[in-house]
Amino acid sequence: MTVTIKTGSEIEGMRIAGRLGSEVLDYITPFVKPGVTTGELDKLCHDYMINVQGTIPAPLNYAPPGHAPYPKSICTSVNNQVCHGVPGDKLLKNGDIVNLDITVIKDGWHGDTSRMFAVGDVTVQAKRLIQITYESMWIGISHVKPGARLGDVGHAIQQFAENSGYSVVREFCGHGIGLNFHEDPQVLHYGKAGTGLRLETGMTFTIEPMINAGRRDIRQMPDGWTITTKDRSLSAQWEHTILVTDTGYEVLTVSVGSPATPDRILSAA
Ligand code: MF3
Ligand code: CO
Ligand code: CO
């Protein structure tokens, strides 16, 4: 396992890519309404990245081993879709929840971030799943500092999600990120405190828990990409790209439209 350490201008490159990734989410937010298709959202984001930002959408044609090239520029995961939902003709309707996952490349550096959106009026159950998943990501982030272990991060996320009555998807995890989309280390969203990689200043990785309202088991759709819950329960995910700093962490995927840090994180700091 090779975990790269970023310094100086490399960190500045990651900051820029992270902000740009988050700005794509800011840009697309007003378009996430009943009646839009996921394919239209993809096209809008694609054109914004290429023509306005001068960024490259990292998902487009991304082909990890065992996968056909990903055909679109963003991931759109609706309701019981866990992650890697492929944009297409699917119409968003009132009451849906959707994750939009954006990864941009700027000057070689990657910024990877996702948010949940409620389409019109959603149920209180869906709202709670979105909120608890957001807080679980932030509880994980709050454990990041030099000397902490990756198991501390995963354990905190798992404990909070499971105590809230939900389950944590095991098959997908956060990841190191930099000049590569997915690098070491793997950042599990479950685990045992005091175990795993020891964090060091200059590491950059994502935290991106996928939390299911029902059981944790998943299925892959015939498109070879879209992942759904096996029991068809709702699933939510949020993602930030994080830098380990001397004093703790810096969230790299921030922009003017980033949702606020949860109160429980601010009051603990
Ligand atoms: N952005 C996803 C992640 O958070 C990866 C998407 S890979 C794709 O790691 F090919 F589906 F785009
Ligand atoms: Co990611
Ligand atoms: Co992502």
Establish whether residue 181 lines the binding site of ligand 1, counting it when its CB lies within 6 angstroms of any ligand atom.
no
DSSP state of 73: S
Q: What angle do CA 242, 248, 254 make, to 5 degrees?
A: 35
Q: Mean per-residue pLDDT for 113-119? A: 99
Q: Please state, in angstroms and rounded to a whole number, the distance separating the CA atoms of residues 42 and 28.
A: 9
Radius of gyration in angstroms for the set of CA atoms belonging to the chain, rounded to a whole number: 17
Residue 1: pLDDT band with limits 50, 70, 90:
confident
Mean pLDDT of the chain: 98
Residue showing tokens 């759904």: 228
What is the share, in percent, of the chain residues with pLDDT greater than 90?
99
Ligand nearest to the CA of 63: 1
Comparing CA positions, the residue from 239, 237, 238, 217 lying closest to residue 228 is 217
pLDDT tens for 24-75 read: 999 999 999 999 999 999 999 999 999 999 999 999 999 999 999 999 999 9
Q: Mean per-residue pLDDT for 91-95? A: 98
CATH 3.90.230.10 is held by the domain 8-268 = yes
Residues near ion ligand 3 (Cβ under 5 Å): 101, 112, 239
pLDDT tens for 186-243 read: 999 999 999 999 999 999 999 999 999 999 999 999 999 999 999 999 999 999 999 9
Mutate to test the pocket of ligand 1, among 177, 181, 206, 223 (most ligand atoms within 8 A of CB): 181
pLDDT at 6 over 90: yes
Q: Please state, in angstroms and rounded to a whole number, the distance separating the CA atoms of residues 214 and 200.
A: 35
CA of 111 to the centre of ligand 3 (A): 9
pLDDT tens for 26-36 read: 999 999 999 99
CA distances from 223 to 16, 99, 204 (A): 33, 18, 31
Q: Please state, in angstroms and rounded to a whole number, the distance separating the CA atoms of residues 153 and 165.
A: 19
Handedness of CA 234, 152, 247, 180 (dihedral sign): negative
88: its two tokens: 């297409």
CA of 242 to the centre of ligand 2 (A): 11
> Would you say the pTM of this structure is higher than 0.95?
yes
Q: Mean per-residue pLDDT for 133-153? A: 98
Q: Mean per-residue pLDDT for 127-149? A: 98
**DSSP 3-state of 105:** strand
**DSSP 3-state of 83:** strand
14: its two tokens: 């990651």
Which atom of ligand 1 lies nearest, measured to the CA of 59?
A: 12
Instruction: Note the pLDDT of residue 269.
Output: 77
